[in-house]
């Protein structure tokens, strides 16, 4: 745009939509971050499927005499 000419209306609309998309993306990132922090701090087991035997899922066995 040259100096002295007013901006067209479409640029104001586009700026508004871009701002809305930015706010939505930041809210989504904050939500994912919060869920991650809550899951990590709640003390739940952080076991994943990694093809190894996990003692926590094996059935309880009585000791042999």
* Residue 53 predicted with pLDDT over 60: yes
Contact indicator for 30, 37 with CB cutoff of 8 Å: no
| Rounded distance between C-alpha atoms, residue 41 and residue 18, angstroms | 35
What are the structure tokens assigned to 8, written together? 């067209």
CB burial readout 19-40, b (16+ within 10 A) else e: eeeeeeeeeeeeeeeeeeeeee
* Residue 57 predicted with pLDDT over 80: no
The reported pTM is 0.56
64 in helix, strand or coil?
A: coil
**What is the tens place of the pLDDT at every residue in 5-51?**
777 889 889 999 999 999 999 999 999 999 988 888 866 566 666 67
């Amino acid at each position: 745009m040259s100096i002295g000419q007013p901006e067209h209306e479409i640029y104001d609309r586009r700026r508004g939509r871009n701002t809305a998309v930015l706010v939505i993306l930041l809210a989504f990132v904050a939500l994912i971050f919060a869920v991650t922090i809550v899951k990590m701090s709640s003390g739940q087991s952080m076991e994943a499927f990694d093809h190894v035997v996990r003692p926590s899922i094996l059935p309880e066995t009585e000791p042999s005499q």
